[in-house]
Structures are given as C-alpha cells and as structure tokens.
C-alpha cells in the first residue's frame, strides 16, 4: 500500500486535507518532521496565505534530495512566478483548494502507477541482464541481491552501486561519482568530496564483503572505482 503524507504550512483551514484522508486507499500520516518524508510515496503540502516561504523551500529541497516521494502543493492562491519556482524545486503539481480533491487523487494515482511501471521495468531489465552473475539490483526497496541474500542499502549507497553497476568492469572517476551522489559536489572542497565518497565506499564494501569472491568494488588509484564480479 502506498504511503501518503500531509503537511500543513501556515495558519489556516486544512479541511480539504481532512476530506482527502477519508477518501483514499493509502496509508496516510500527518507530517511534522523532515525524516518522515523519506519513507513516503506521496507528499501533499497545504499552503495557507501566511505560510513561511523559506520553510516551504526547505521541505521541497529536502524531499527532492532525500526521498522519491511525489510532491503536490494545494493552495488558495500562489503567484505565477512562485509556481514555476516550486515546480523547478521538485513539486510535481500545484492545485487550487477549490478544485476537486478526488480529481487530485486520480492524478496522483496515475503518477504512482507510472512510477511503479518504471520500477518493474528496471527490475525486469536487471534480472535479465544479471541472470548469469546472480547479482540483482532491486529499485523497489533500494537493495542488492546476491544469490539468496538481499542487502538493503541507503539512498546514497544504492545510487553509487547503481552507477557502478551500469558501467560494470569500467572505471568511473571520483568526480563523476561525486556528481551523481551530490548536486553540490562541484562546490565541495576536494578533500571533503573525496572523504565523503570514500566513506560511502567503505560502508558499501562492508555490506557486500561476504561475497567478495563474486562481487567487489575495486579502487583504481588516482582515477576512481569500478565494479567487478566473476561470471
């Protein structure tokens, strides 16, 4: 079952949100903390007239960086220039409170169906590509499966192994991997970027250390990393 979170910003009515809760087949929660967003499939943000714009920015940025949740904003009125900005920051849609909430839920469900379809296609593609190697990346729950064992990874660990996996037996440079992991990688000092990347590699290697005879991440000195495994 999909998980939907509802966040109310500013002092104002959120009665339409209450109506929304009573008419969906999702697991629903009221969001009060950033960390709750990580496990969501959908986040609906209700924006009132006196909302804190900087706080909305924080929620959008955090969700885009840390979660795969689809984000919709409901509001009485948002200036056109703000709408474009919010969409660029990761919102998938902005809906007026006067519009039918059931209409919003149809749009959300269609989007979730599309996302699920893409995930299934990625999983099927991974299964086909890796049937010989017995290595499977599961995009549904961000895990790697080696033989009969499934290892759950963090968001960054999975993003890293996915990048290495797509370029198996090829070297991916430190800078390329850093840019895949962090949008602000170019702004990081070199020593910070290298340390953070090395730290993720360290934890990832520990998680798959039991299977070093089948799969390993090799350091290519002064260049980067590559993923190797035995066929």
In angstroms, rounded to a whole number, what is the distance separating the alpha carbons of residues 161 and 143?
Answer: 10
Q: Which residues contact 158 (CB under 8 A, 6 or more apart)?
A: 137, 142, 143, 144
Q: Is pLDDT at 47 greater than 60 in this prediction?
A: yes
User: Which carries the bigger pLDDT value, residue 78 or residue 64?
Assistant: 64
Beta strand residue intervals within 17-109, DSSP E: 27-30, 42-47, 70-75, 93-96
User: Do residues 161 and 152 make contact, with C-beta atoms less than 8 angstroms apart?
Assistant: no
Confidence band, pLDDT 50/70/90 cuts, at residue 202 = very high
pLDDT at 157: 92
Better pLDDT: 160 or 14: 160
For the cut 70, the answer to whether the pLDDT of residue 181 exceeds it is yes
In this predicted structure, the answer to whether residue 128 has a pLDDT above a threshold of 60 is: no
Read off the pLDDT of each residue in 188-217 and give the average, rounded to a whole number: 87
Domains annotated for the chain, with CATH where assigned, are: 3-114 (3.40.50.2300), 130-229 (1.10.10.10)
> Is 8 in a helix, a strand, or coil?
strand
> What's the pLDDT score for residue 160?
92
Question: For the residues 191-214, what does the mean pLDDT come to?
Answer: 87
**Which of 16-20, 151-155, 169-173 has the lowest average pLDDT?**
16-20
Taking all residues of the chain, what is their mean pLDDT, rounded to a whole number?
80
132 vs 215: CA distance, rounded Å: 13
Higher pLDDT, 168 or 9: 9
DSSP string, 148-172: TEEEE--HHHHHHHHHHHHTTTS-E
| pLDDT band (50, 70, 90) for residue 200 | very high
Distance CA 97, CA 70 (A): 18
Average pLDDT of span 192-201: 90
Residue 115 has a pLDDT of 64
CA separation for the pair 120, 140 (Å, rounded): 8
| β-pairing verdict for 93-96 and 70-75 | parallel
Closest CA to 158 of 117, 194, 224, 203: 203
d(CA 193, CA 187): 9
Percentages (nearest 5) of helix, strand, coil residues in the chain: 45, 25, 30
Percent of residues, the chain, with pLDDT higher than 90: 13
pLDDT band at residue 3 using 50, 70 and 90 as cut-offs: confident
User: Lowest-pLDDT range, 9-13, 46-50, 212-216?
Assistant: 9-13
Confidence of residue 24 (pLDDT cuts 50, 70, 90): low
pTM over 0.75: no
| Burial class (CB within 10 angstroms; exposed 0-12, middle 13-18, buried 19+) of 70 | buried
Per-residue confidence (pLDDT) for residue 2, from 0 to 100: 75
Average pLDDT of 8-31? 67
């Amino acid at each position: 079952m999909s998980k939907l979170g509802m966040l109310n910003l500013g002092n104002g009515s959120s009665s339409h949100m209450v109506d929304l809760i009573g008419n969906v087949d999702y697991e629903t929660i009221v969001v009060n903390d950033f960390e709750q967003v990580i496990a969501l499939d959908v986040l609906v943000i209700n924006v009132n007239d006196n909302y804190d714009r900087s706080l909305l920015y924080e929620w959008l940025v955090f969700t885009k960086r840390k979660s795969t949740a689809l984000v919709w904003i409901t509001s009485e009125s948002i200036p056109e220039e703000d709408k474009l900005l919010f969409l660029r920051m990761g919102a998938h849609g902005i809906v007026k409170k006067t519009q039918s909430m059931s209409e919003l839920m149809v749009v959300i469900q269609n989007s979730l169906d599309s996302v699920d379809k893409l995930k299934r296609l990625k999983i099927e593609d991974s299964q086909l590509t890796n049937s010989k190697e017995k290595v499977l990346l599961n995009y549904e729950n961000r895990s790697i499966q080696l033989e009969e064992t499934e290892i759950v990874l963090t968001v960054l660990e999975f993003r890293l192994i996915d990048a290495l996996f797509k370029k198996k037996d090829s070297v991916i440079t430190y800078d390329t991997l850093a840019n895949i992991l962090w949008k602000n990688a170019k702004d990081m000092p070199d020593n910070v970027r290298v340390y953070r990347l090395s730290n993720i590699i360290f934890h990832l290697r520990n998680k798959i250390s039991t299977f070093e005879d089948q799969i390993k991440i090799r350091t290519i000195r002064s260049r980067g990393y590559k993923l190797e495994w035995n066929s």
